[in-house]
Amino acid sequence: MSTDEAPIVAADSGEERRRDAEDLVEREVAEALGRFVIAWGTIEHELERMISTIFRVAPVQRLAISADFVIRSKIDLIKSGIVLAGPYIEDAQVKKFIGLLNKLLGLNGDIRNFIFHWSVHVNEKSEVIASKLKGGDKPKIFFYKPNKKNLDETIVKVVSLRSDLRSMVGELKTAFDSFETGWDKSQKYKEMRDKFEASKAEADLQMELPLSPLVDLS
């Protein structure tokens, strides 16, 4: 039997059918995979909250902006927003924020994409095996038997990063409140300055106009 063929068993109806990975995966592994998917969804939600915080948009508008974005595009958008508020965020904070976002990118590439896009088959021992091709100059195929211990460790990493991202949302809110306040003040100052310059220019113009000669209309 080839490694890609699953064993034949009797179905409830009495007919023979082929058992596949979803039948053979250990319950605790399936539950751990489900927890990982849910945990990763909360990571995505924290990114959405960052977009709302930085760009001052309501959830409905936010979804319209980022609905079709992959996670890398969302992170690039957030990084751009952080750069825009540079004067209102300490350099150490910016470094920390960018570091967290880069850490998330690494976790996304190494773990999330592997789990969401792996190829799964059942080997001759009725074991569920995941495989993925890693490209580059020397492509390699990696085989992995999903197990609860490794998945639990992965979930711990996701939950820890989520906690850091939630703290980052709070810090961004404080920074962008200051940014918005500063922006409003600068705009009001600009309006006052423009009005002053306009009135001054008008006064200067009146002083420069030549006096009209007197005309006798009698």
Report which DSSP code applies to 213: P
**Residue range 120-155, pLDDT digits in tens:** 888 888 888 888 777 767 777 878 888 899 999 999
Closest CA to 103 of 51, 55, 162, 46: 162
pLDDT score at 134: 73
- For 159-177, the DSSP string reads HHHHHHHHHHHHHHHHHHH
- Which tokens hold the place of 50? 């960052």
75 pairs with which residues across the strands?
none
- Which tokens hold the place of 87? 């004067």
Quote the Cα angle for 170-171-176, to 5°.
100
Question: Residue 10: pLDDT above 50?
Answer: no
Across residues 44-60, what is the average pLDDT? 89
**Residue range 199-216, pLDDT digits in tens:** 656 655 555 555 555 555
pLDDT score at 14: 46
